[in-house]
Amino acid sequence: MKSKKLLIITQNFYPELGSAANRMKMLFKHFTEENVKTHVLTTYPSYPNHELFKDKSYFNDELINQYEKDRIFRMKMTFAKQNKNLIARLFYYIEQFLKVKYFIYRHQNDYDYIYVTSPNIFIAWATLLLKKAKRPLYILEIRDLWPDSVNGIKGIKLKYTWPLLKLLEKIMYQRADKIVINNKGFYQHITKMISKDIPIKFIPNSVSKEERIEEEKFPEFSVVYTGNIGYAQDVNHLIELFQLLNDHKIKVTAIVYGVKAPKFRQAVENLENVILKPAMSREKCLKEISKHHIALSILNEDETFLNVLPGKIVDALGVDTLPVTNIGGKMAEDIRNYQIGFAQMKATPSELLEQILLYRNDTSYYQSQLLNIRHYRDKFLNWETNIKELINFLKE
């Protein structure tokens, strides 16, 4: 692929926070380092909000910075993505759909590969639904099952639009030349919806060499929760678990943002053993996680959410911190089989607390699982290895 050109189309990209932006950042960096001429079509950073990125310290990757405006094309949007008004957000996605479509119309002959990610689904639709030419090769990456994940959000009903949305989802899969998934659990869902043999490759969220941070643990046993508290997370369970940890005098840190973060902060801010910190760069956040003994991932109890692979878990494994979570699916099986933390589908706050207390009270048990983490991370969650697998998949 060294003489080939690849375009990544993504809503989330460096320097935004969250696992989606980091995954796309890592794909761009590692493709570039493997001498694949890679361009990115994305938007200006806005997640979790525009204001955060007025602080230029978030633009801290010199390799990527040198390609701004040369290989990284950012669409200037009229409408705001982070808008509570659903109609306004719909206009944002329609605008994005049209701009992506226009860019592809003008530049599709410039690329050998177009690599589009979903969600958001409008970018994938713009790229694939009206696809006619056999070249370039179109690769669809699925990081979440849509519209299923939207239907799993309490308060959102898709009863009347559901048949149309599922049809569009099916067409999207069938128009792709190849599909990449970041969760093994997506494979069966997708293969049931496609009528032809489309190659599918599992490439998990991974950890690069520079991200394998091993800070010294705090002397006192401690727990951390980082990242988004939105519709996919169960804020009430998280609040209850923080209260239980506080009652057992366990130090617990929260570095949070998202639509439900204010409710969470208000509920726990006066707890004696809770430390609240503002959103920070990924590098600083990984260092914070690495200092703690346990990292939490608490999701909404809808099956769609519980069968995903949260970036929080990969981040924890990457920096030698045991994950404790209520997810199910393939990742939960790995956590149990490889003994690299605790995963029990729909585990209650009390059940999660019980496991955390076990880690606190049994040092040898805790240390043995830390050793397992390092073996698992180096074998399965290594970007330097996984990017080569992805390149080989594209070349096949």
Query: Are 174 and 292 within one domain?
Result: no
Q: Per residue of the chain (396 residues), what is the pLDDT tens digit? A: 667 899 999 999 999 999 999 999 999 999 999 999 999 999 999 988 888 999 999 999 999 999 998 999 999 998 877 776 777 888 999 999 999 999 999 998 899 999 999 988 889 999 998 777 777 999 999 998 887 777 666 556 677 778 888 888 999 999 999 999 999 889 999 999 997 889 999 999 999 999 998 889 999 999 999 999 988 899 999 999 999 999 999 999 999 999 899 999 999 999 999 999 999 999 999 999 999 999 999 988 777 666 678 889 999 999 999 999 999 888 999 999 999 999 999 999 999 999 999 999 999 999 999 999 999 999 999 999 999 999 999 988
Do 164 and 227 share a structural domain?
no
Looking at the fold, whether 35 and 174 belong to one and the same domain comes out as: yes
Residues 375 and 386 both lie in one domain: no
Residue 160's pLDDT is 76
The span from the CA of 108 to the CA of 105, in Å, is: 6
Assessment of whether the complete model's pTM goes beyond 0.85 = yes
| Torsion 269-272-278-280 (CA) sign | negative
Of 154, 152, 156, the C-alpha closest to 144 is: 152
Assess whether 76 and 119 both reside in one domain. Answer: yes
Nearest to 65 by CA among 34, 48, 99, 40: 40
Q: Are residues 353 and 364 located together in one domain of the fold? A: yes
| Same domain membership, residue 225 and residue 103 | no
pLDDT at 245: 98
Tell me, what's the pLDDT at 304?
67
Number of domains making up the chain: 2
**DSSP strands (E only) in 32-189:** 37-43, 72-75, 113-118, 137-142, 178-181
Find all residues with CB under 8 Å of 117, minimum gap 6, and list them: 8, 9, 10, 11, 20, 24, 123, 124, 140, 141, 143
Q: Alpha-carbon dihedral of residues 10, 16, 22, 28, nearest 10 degrees?
A: 50
CA distance 312 to 314: 6
Q: Are residues 253 and 300 in the same domain?
A: yes
Q: What is the pLDDT of residue 285?
A: 95
Both 170 and 252 in one domain: the answer is no
Position 231 scores a pLDDT of 82
* Structure confidence at residue 306 (pLDDT): 65
What CATH number has the domain bearing residue 348? 3.40.50.2000
With the C-alpha atoms ordered 190, 192, 197, 203, is the resulting torsion angle positive or negative? positive
Phi/psi of residue 271, nearest 5 degrees: -75, 135
Residues 47 and 185 in one domain: yes
**Residue 142 lies in domain:** 5-206+382-395
CA torsion 289-294-300-302 (nearest 10°) is 120
The confidence score (pLDDT) of residue 181 equals: 96
Same structural domain, 237 and 176: no
> Does 247 share its domain with 171?
no
